Amino acid sequence: MTELANLTTMEVDALSDLEGGLNLTDGHARLDLSAEQVAIVARIPEMFTAATRSPFPAIETAAHRAFLDAIGQHSAPVGSGRILSCYSSTLATDIVARALPAGATIAVLHPTFDNIADLFTTRGLRLVPLTEEAMLDRAWPGPPVSAVVLTHPNNPTGLVTPEGHLRSLAEHAVRHGQTVIIDASFRGQVREAQYDTYAVLDAAGADWITIEDTGKLWPTHELKIGLLAYSERTRLPIERAFSESLLAASPVVLQLVEALARDWVNGGYERARDLVERNRDTVRAAIEPIGLCLADPGSRISVARIGLPQDGPDSSLLYKDMLERGVHVLPCAPFHWAAPEDGLRFVRLSLARPYDTVRRAATTLAEAYRELSATV
């Protein structure tokens, strides 16, 4: 692996580790199914039967309604034809990137997961960073920026865009003819992020695009849906870009999403939250005795950043050492896509893993950092 590897490459390396190393890289849910989820998965044969007998639009609309209601998005344009079902949120992002005018300047939250910036750059767009501090200060970019991209909650920091801030951005975007683009892939994990963003954006009269994701919530081994929704005001060729990429998502997976979303509002959210918070506490307990701490103690998404002191080993060294110990984590320089050096003092761990996996990985990280510190 080279220093130029992106985050997804590191995640693929972890998945394909023939030695069976601990994988705390990607933010997908890699947990044991709950008893309730086991019962839902057992119904998949019934879902195949229903997929042959029910109209696809009816299956799709039911899944959209159940999922979006489960995460508080009651004003989403369900049934309007303006929500497209993709295989993944990454594909949805690429569709948006192809629909935006080539050469356009867009502002993207910084730091955030690097494939967002990579996909936009690959499609010929010019990116400028919008720091989290600027977002919190409501320092919105003006022309030539034609679109502003937020990750809500942000990955890796867990920062939620407050409702008032989104309203301010939407009003700013209307004044300047900009499009608001929201990647809400982690929204389902955080109650504070579940205010109705569709209502906020529509009330302001904004042109908007929103990407939702089911893959961060449930351990369904990539049986997931990325939703791509857009406002009736947009003139971007989103449907054309979608048609160039796929015909439709699986009606079986859509039914699975619908059933899991119903469980999410009947105790599923609380069960998942309790496990993630237990794992976060476990990481904290493992690293505090050696002088490390969680960089984002208020974060509630299923990943955690650990801050590294300036006078010790940086995340690139720690990452390599952890690989030798059979543990995969993510160094955070790639999240800082516009200034990688700003991420050298952070590593990120996924918390959507069984408790023992997180405990062993956190203990190993503490040992690795202590031993590296003695040699640096």
Summarised one tens digit per residue, pLDDT across range 191-222 is 999 999 999 999 999 999 999 999 999 999 99
| Residue 112 CB-half CA count within 13 A | 28
- How many whole angstroms separate alpha carbon 255 and alpha carbon 222? 14
Calculate mean pLDDT across residues 247-252: 95
Query: Residue with structure tokens 């008893």?
Result: 35
Residues of the chain by 3-state class (helix, strand, coil), percent to 5: 45, 15, 40
Place of tokens 């060729």: 237
pTM, two decimals, is: 0.96
User: Is residue 345 predicted with pLDDT exceeding 70?
Assistant: yes
Write down the domain spans for the chain.
Answer: 7-34+267-373, 43-262
Cα distance between residue 77 and residue 80, in whole Å: 6
pLDDT at 351 over 80: yes
Task: Count Cβ neighbours within 10 Å for each residue of 110-126 and write b for 16 or more, e otherwise.
Answer: bbbbbbbbbbbeebebe
Is 212:74 a contact under the CB 8 Å cutoff? no
Q: How confident is the model at residue 55, as a pLDDT?
A: 97
Q: What is the pLDDT of residues 127-180, one digit of tens each?
A: 999 999 999 999 999 999 999 999 999 999 999 999 999 999 999 999 999 999
Q: Taking 50 as the threshold, does the pLDDT of residue 48 lie above it?
A: yes
Confidence of residue 2 (pLDDT cuts 50, 70, 90): very low
Residues in Cβ contact with 262 at an 8 Å cutoff, skipping those fewer than 6 apart: 66, 70
Instruction: Report d(CA 207, CA 43) in Å as an integer.
Output: 39
> pLDDT at position 18, please?
80
- Which residue type, as a one-letter code, is found at position 46? E
99: tokens are: 């629909």
Q: Which helix (H) or strand (E) holds 181?
A: strand 179-183
Structural contact between residues 189 and 273, judged by C-beta atoms closer than 8 angstroms: yes
On the CB side of 370, CA atoms within 13 Å amount to 12
Distance of CA 148 to the CA centre of its chain: 17
Which amino acid appears at position 68 of this protein? L
pLDDT over 70 (residue 350) = yes
What pLDDT score was predicted for residue 19? 84
CATH of domain 7-34+267-373: 3.90.1150.10
The fold of 43-262 is: Aspartate Aminotransferase; domain 2 (3.40.640)
230: its two tokens:
């857009």
Q: Is the pLDDT of residue 37 over 70?
A: yes
Q: What is the mean pLDDT of the chain?
A: 96
pLDDT at 3 over 90: no
Amino acid occupying residue 345: R
pLDDT tens column, 186-198:
999 999 999 999 9
- Cα separation, 316 vs 330, in Å, equals 9
* Confidence bin at 363 (pLDDT 50/70/90): very high
Which pair of structure tokens corresponds to residue 197? Answer: 């963003």
User: Using an 8 Å Cβ cutoff, are 147 and 178 in contact?
Assistant: yes
Question: Percent of the chain having pLDDT more than 90?
Answer: 96
| Alpha helices (H) in the chain, listed in sequence order | 7-15, 35-41, 44-53, 56-70, 89-99, 114-122, 132-136, 163-176, 197-204, 238-243, 251-263, 269-287, 315-324, 355-373
8-32 burial, b if ≥16 CB within 10 A, otherwise e? Answer: bebbebbeeeeeebbbbbbbbbbbe
Q: Is the pLDDT of residue 1 over 80?
A: no
Report pLDDT for 5.
83
Alpha carbon distance 359, 279 (integer Å): 7
What one-letter code names the amino acid at 41?
A: V
